[in-house]
Amino acid sequence: MEKYQQFWCFRLGAITRKISREYNTRFLEFGITLGQSFVLFDLLEHDGAGIKDIAGRVQLDSPAVTGLVDRLSRQGLVERIDDPSDRRSVKILLTEKGKELAGRLLPIAQEYNSCIKDAIDSLDVPIFERSLTQLEQNL
């Protein structure tokens, strides 16, 4: 076993890519990718949010969200409208089609998330989740 293969960063990256690939496969028939779905899910609870707010919650930089919103809007799932209270800003709104799709994708994502949890000992799940929280907080 090579040294670098024990780096958490390497292992986390490989696992994340594998999971993302599976999500993307499941979402393929809807024409959506995993990253795009997070924006849709976010808008379900924050319809009309600006780019920066979305970026903060999905933990991406603004330019990345700009790109995701571009692709979603090209599919008629979201709309950009000017923010009347701040002309620099933009409000992202779910269209009917987008709202409907987001509602359809959410249970699919939740179901696969359960599958992932099943991959490890059920007794270890709370500890694993606690570790994730600590990584989020302490890095």
Partner DNA sequence: GACAAGATGTTAATATGTTATTAATTTAAA
Partner DNA sequence: TTTAAATTAATAACATATTAACATCTTGTC
Q: Give 46-97 as a DSSP string.
A: STT--HHHHHHHHT--HHHHHHHHHHHHHTTSEEEEE-TT-TT-EEEEE-HH
Distance CA 9, CA 17 (A): 12
Report in angstroms how near the CB of residue 99 gets to DNA at its nearest. Answer: 19
Binding of a copy of itself at residue 99 (CB under 8 A)?
no
Residue closer to DNA (CB basis): 59 or 122: 59
For DNA, give the closer residue by CB, 36 or 101.
Answer: 36
Which residues lie across from 91 on neighbouring strands? 81
# residues near a copy of itself by CB under 8 A: 52
Q: Which of 75, 95, 106, 108 binds a copy of itself (CB under 8 A)?
A: 106
Contact between 92 and 44 under an 8 Å Cβ cutoff? The reply is no
122 interface partner picked from a copy of itself, DNA, none, CB below 5 to 8 A per type? none
Q: Which residues have CB under 8 Å from 64's CB, separation 6+?
A: 35, 55
Residue 111's binding partner among a copy of itself, DNA, none (Cβ under 5 to 8 angstroms by kind) is none
Query: Judged by CB under 8 A, does residue 3 bind a copy of itself?
Result: yes
> Phi/psi class of residue 80: alpha, beta or left (left: φ > 0; alpha: ψ in -120 to 50)?
beta
Residue 87 contacts residue 33 (beta carbons within 8 Å) = no
- 21 vs 117, beta carbon nearer DNA: 21
Decide if residue 122 touches a copy of itself (CB under 8 A).
Answer: no
Per CB under 8 A, residues contacting a copy of itself are 2-20, 22-23, 34, 37-38, 41-42, 45, 57-59, 106, 109-110, 113, 116-121, 124, 127-128, 130-132, 134-139
